[in-house]
Amino acid sequence: MRVAALADVFKVVLYVIASFLLAAVISPYLYEIGKGFANVAKGKDTVDHIAWLAFKANGADFPSYFKRSLFLSAVICLIPLFYALDLRRHARHRKGNPWTVGLPPNSIPSKMGQPLKRVRWGILQSLTGFCLATGFCLAMAWFLFALNWFEWEKNPSQAQLWDSLWQSIKPAFWQSVIEEVLFRGALLGIFLRAFRPSVAIVTLSLIFATVHFLTLPSSIVISDPRDPGAGFEMLNLISQKLLEPESLIHSFIFLFLAGVILGVARYGTSALWLPIGIHAGWIFSTQIFSQLAQRRANFPESFELYMGKELNDGLVPIGLIIMTGIVVALYLNFFKDSRQSEF
């Protein structure tokens, strides 16, 4: 019954914790390997890809290696999670439903959860979500320039503009697809089996915000990156950010609200197309804005509560994402379903 579904939620929480702990263990060794590889490749006549990789490995700091270690740990820990959720069995119940996480049919009532459906006009939903998110972000960028809070970092040439555009599109595509398949596809499907939709979306959004909050770019300095305990020192330092009121306002609340909007978009359409489009729009906007603009040097400190250094920091971005959520809710009125009456 529902106890089995709650057990699967507990397994997901353990998966997140295990991924961070494993990253703390392997990050010093990955740091050693990366720096060693850079020293060996330095000055040697190698192919362009090897030279580029060595350059990146040499220039990366320990927080960057920790993030790569976290990604590797998340992939490794997927294997025991896969077996713990018993995804191998009862594949026939998932036929024609590739996003559904299958559980033994005798463990939960068939009406629990919400399998994802194939949507005929899914690409149109993604484009709508992308244009919606990008449009709001561009409007806020215009507002920030109008207030003289931000300025162009330099006068970019046409070639630089196209390069910035391409460098922003790539992460917007692959990052939004991977994260939405994982968070709103697999994990939210598990949470919806255990909780009411509103509780499931809020709970997963807290996890989503915490994971992203703890892996945001930071200026953390580790005393000795080659020490075996450097990863746990890193984990302790980044976890302390949760106790900083400024960080909570600037980043965590924004990430939580973003997770709620994406979860509602997934539940309201029974598909991943709309949340992928919204997520890609946010990533694209923040990437291209960070490459082409910067906060003015004489920006008043009294205004930092309203606008941080990035497009998603401060009360102004929070207001923007709330308006985005309202428009998404209005859009979802076209996709009402009788099953959502329990929301």
pLDDT for residue 43 = 64
pLDDT for residue 22 = 93
Answer left, alpha or beta for residue 270, where phi above 0 means left and psi between -120 and 50 means alpha.
left
With a pLDDT cut of 90, the percent of the chain lying above it is 18
Position 320, amino acid: L
Find residue 293's DSSP bridge partners.
152
Residue 150, SS3?
A: strand
Residue 288 has pLDDT above 90, yes or no: no
> Which comes out higher in pLDDT, residue 134 or 7?
134
pLDDT for residue 280 = 94
**306-321 mean pLDDT:** 80
**314-325 mean pLDDT:** 88
Write out the two tokens for 204. 């997963």
pLDDT for residue 291 = 77
pLDDT for residue 148 = 81
Write out the two tokens for 77. 């820990």
Confidence class for position 213, pLDDT limits 50, 70, 90: confident
List, as one string, the DSSP characters of 275-297.
HHHHHHHHHHHHHHHHHHEEE-T
Question: Over the stretch 138-164, which tens digit does the pLDDT of each residue have?
Answer: 888 888 888 888 777 666 666 667 777
Phi/psi of residue 272, each to 5°?
-100, -5
Confidence class for position 137, pLDDT limits 50, 70, 90: confident
pTM above 0.85, yes or no: no
Residue 87 has pLDDT above 60, yes or no: no
Cα–Cα distance for residue pair 30/20, rounded to 1 Å? 15
> Which comes out higher in pLDDT, residue 4 or 340?
4
Query: Does residue 296 contact residue 149 with C-beta atoms inside 8 Å?
Result: yes
Cα–Cα distance for residue pair 22/238, rounded to 1 Å? 16
Residue 91 has pLDDT above 80, yes or no: no
Residue 329 CB: number of other CB atoms within 10 A? Answer: 13
Of 114, 171, 25, whose CA–CA distance to 339 is shortest?
114
Most confidently predicted of 149-163, 262-276, 286-300, 302-316:
262-276
Confidence class for position 74, pLDDT limits 50, 70, 90: confident
**12-27 mean pLDDT:** 90
Q: Give CA torsion, residues 327, 331, 333, 335, to 10 deg.
A: -150
**86-96 mean pLDDT:** 47
> Which comes out higher in pLDDT, residue 85 or 181?
181
Cα–Cα distance for residue pair 126/218, rounded to 1 Å? 31
Cα–Cα distance for residue pair 101/9, rounded to 1 Å? 12
Confidence class for position 226, pLDDT limits 50, 70, 90: confident
